């Protein structure tokens, strides 16, 4: 285990080694860390790990999932890996061990109706008990031990986020404009129809421009229905973002559609992106029908 009295090099790259018995929440922890920006690798054979660390420049944090399902797993081999990573001055290793009571592990594993890796032809309880005993030396070396017996998946996610991203997980928002002529984009969480707003297409001087132009935006905003509509959309998004974060959502996609996907929908997407960015929100934007055109 790391000596807590020894300060860690602030330039060291964080490495979280996630382990523990099946059913304790290891997969959930790996997924949360990946959402927090860690490069996640699960069930990598132990013999390949030293080469990965040496070959990888490690410019971003890494989360490694290792447990008894690994083909060449053994407690001694995993302890050697922990010693190897701990000795690296350029790495900041945390051994995260997810644990739970025996009865809880058995119930969770039974719910999956899968064979236990340590008892493929036997009762799952046999595998659970074997794995608990097998993992004891690793449990003793853990820097952080989380007992998930009384946690649901949302509570576990929140605990991981609190420990590895003290400021809270950033929920990424992607905004998109589109034309209804080409259909609604796939995998969108929310769609707003802007076709009720006045259309700059019918103004000859604005027809060849798009919603990134100040003149087009000004024209759309002159519609008396624009501001009440936009204010309600902005209020709705601001209301939902904290709720989605609490539920563990890592990405929210919002689309605005109009007839041609050039003027009104682009104006709404651009304006919402600006306001959310000023709120400190992480925002990306794509104008589907303007793809390949000039960028401003």
Consult the annotation and say whether 152 binds a ligand: no
Consult the annotation and say whether 211 binds a ligand: no
Tokens of 167: 């400021």
Q: What DSSP line would sit under 222-281, residue for residue?
A: TSTTHHHHHHHHHHHHHHHHHHHHHTT--EEEEEEEESSSSSHHHHHHHHHHHHHHHTT-
Report the distance separating Cα 195 and Cα 190, nearest Å. Answer: 16
Consult the annotation and say whether 21 binds a ligand: yes
Consult the annotation and say whether 22 binds a ligand: yes
Consult the annotation and say whether 26 binds a ligand: yes
Contact predicate 289/262, CB 8 Å: yes
Consult the annotation and say whether 27 binds a ligand: yes
Q: How many CA atoms lie within 13 A of 135 on its CB side?
A: 28
Consult the annotation and say whether 250 binds a ligand: no
Return the H-helix or E-strand segment holding 42. strand 39-42
The pairing of strands 283-287 and 172-179 is parallel
Consult the annotation and say whether 67 binds a ligand: yes
Consult the annotation and say whether 68 binds a ligand: yes
Consult the annotation and say whether 284 binds a ligand: no
Return the H-helix or E-strand segment holding 171. none
Tokens of 127: 């595998």
Consult the annotation and say whether 69 binds a ligand: yes
Tokens of 121: 């032809």
**Which residues carry a binding-site annotation for ATP?**
20-27
**Which residues carry a binding-site annotation for GTP?**
67-70
**Which residues carry a binding-site annotation?**
20-27, 67-70
């Amino acid at each position: 285990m790391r000596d807590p009295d020894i300060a860690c090099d602030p330039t060291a790259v964080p490495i979280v080694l996630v382990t523990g018995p099946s059913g304790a929440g290891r997969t959930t922890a790996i997924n949360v860390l990946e959402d927090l920006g860690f490069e996640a690798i699960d069930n990598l054979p132990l013999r390949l790990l030293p080469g990965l660390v040496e070959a990888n420049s490690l410019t971003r944090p890494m989360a490694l999932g290792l447990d008894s399902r690994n083909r060449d797993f053994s407690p001694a081999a995993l302890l050697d890996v922990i010693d190897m990573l701990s000795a690296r001055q350029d790495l900041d290793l945390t051994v995260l061990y997810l644990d739970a009571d025996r009865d809880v592990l058995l119930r969770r594993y039974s719910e999956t109706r899968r064979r236990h890796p340590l008892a493929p032809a036997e009762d799952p309880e046999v595998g659970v008990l074997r794995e608990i005993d097998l993992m004891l030396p690793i449990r003793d070396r853990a820097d952080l031990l989380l007992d998930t017996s009384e946690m649901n998946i949302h509570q576990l996610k929140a605990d991981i986020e609190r420990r590895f991203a003290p400021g809270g997980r950033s929920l990424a928002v992607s905004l998109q404009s589109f034309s209804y002529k080409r259909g609604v984009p796939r995998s969108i969480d929310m769609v707003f129809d802007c076709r009720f707003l006045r259309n700059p297409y019918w103004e000859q001087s604005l027809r060849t421009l798009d919603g990134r132009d100040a003149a087009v935006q000004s024209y759309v905003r002159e519609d008396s229905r624009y501001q009440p509509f936009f204010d309600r959309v902005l209020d709705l998004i601001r209301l939902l973002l904290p709720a989605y974060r609490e539920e563990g959502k890592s990405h929210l996609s919002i689309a605005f559609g109009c007839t041609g996907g050039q003027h009104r929908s682009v104006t709404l997407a651009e304006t919402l992106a600006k306001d959310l960015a000023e709120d400190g929100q992480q925002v990306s934007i794509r104008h589907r029908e303007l793809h390949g055109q000039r960028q401003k």
